[in-house]
Structure 1
């Protein structure tokens, strides 16, 4: 991108980086079904102000980091405190980089791909009897469930524990990105898929 200033002067535009640190270049989404629903559109500040709210599938166009921040605000102490949640994610990304030496955005994308369940159960009523039937999970719901499980895992780890939530969130994202079965999100995903398998 080039901005022309005068007849002979021109400067190159600055690359947009998340938190002015992490590049969006070269981030790879391996799962083809999630490509449309993990938004990696470059933004300086992940804060859209809810402009997606009345648009169908609008949340799939929100930067994925903002969706993580929004999920951290749910339930209890952090309710509505977006700046606090923003700082938690920013510090967690620093910890992820120190531990893995990789771009935290890439680690987050890997974690979402690994934590997203492919199959779950739904209730179907037939003749007054309720059956539980296995169904495939829609890609947008897969991303929602993955983000919810990652933030729930971090919240459970930090609640009445010695570690601050930034460390818990970083540890959970790294563990899920490495497909560690001890992490909360992977355990939850495997439980949901196991129940769906038995309901086929």
Structure 2
């Protein structure tokens, strides 16, 4: 185990267009092979498209609502006791909630076949903001797993 102090997290820089660290992180999750301009263009166009179908208000509000709807409050972690492995429900930290929500939205948009990624990301953001879609299903599934295994909550560490 490390005997030094905890590693200091790097500051997340806000993106230049919306000046939001959240969008900056989303761009980071979309980023492939260091192509920042491509990732930025995809995310900005997706946010713009996700907001088109709505009220035409603040596009950042749609993204924030989508992320809040996808954030998991609980998750299960494997814990080995004796010879058995138990799925122990644990509360997720706010930082992990945000990371999981962003990762799920981007990954599930990537898994949508037959549509361009930009369009799929826009649709996933729009669906998540409305409280439906694959990312919200994934959050519900995670909560269901935690609920089903709450008998093992006493094994939490």
Task: Name the TM tier (shorter chain).
Answer: 0.7 to 0.9
- How many residues are treated as equivalent by the alignment? 138
Aligned position for 2:120: 168
The answer for the alignment partner of 1:67 in structure 2 is 25
Q: Does 1:137 align with 2:97?
A: no
Partner of 1:156: 111
Q: Do the aligned residues in 1 keep the contact of 2:46 with 2:122 (CA within 8 Å)?
A: yes
* Structure 1 moving runs of 4+ over 4 Å: 59-62
1:114–1:127 Cα change, 3 Å = same
Q: What residue in structure 2 maps to residue 106 of structure 1?
A: 61
Q: Matches of 1:138 and 1:61 in 2, distance apart?
A: 21
Contact 2:27 2:40 in 1 (8 A): yes
**Residues 131-160 of structure 1: per-residue CA shift (max 9 Å, x gap):** 211111111000000000000121111x4x
Of Structure 1 and Structure 2, which has the larger fraction of its residues in helix? 2
1-structure distance, mates of 2:43, 2:87: 37
1:93 aligned residue = 47
Residue 45 (structure 1) aligns with: none
Larger Rg: 1
Task: Return closer, same or farther for 1:197/1:175 CA change in 2, 3 Å cut-off.
Answer: same
Selected match of 1:79 from 33, 38, 41? 33
RMSD: 1.9
Distance 1:68 1:123 in 2: 28
Alignment partner, residue 8 of structure 2: 56
Flag structure 1 segments of 5+ consecutive residues without an equivalent: 1-53
Of structures 1 and 2, the one scoring higher in RCO (CA 8 A, sep 6+) is 2
Task: Say whether 1:124 aligns with 2:79.
Answer: yes
Q: Which runs of 5+ in 2 are unaligned?
A: 1-5, 15-20, 151-157
C-alpha displacement of 1:72: 0.9
CA contact (8 A) 1:120 1:192 kept: yes
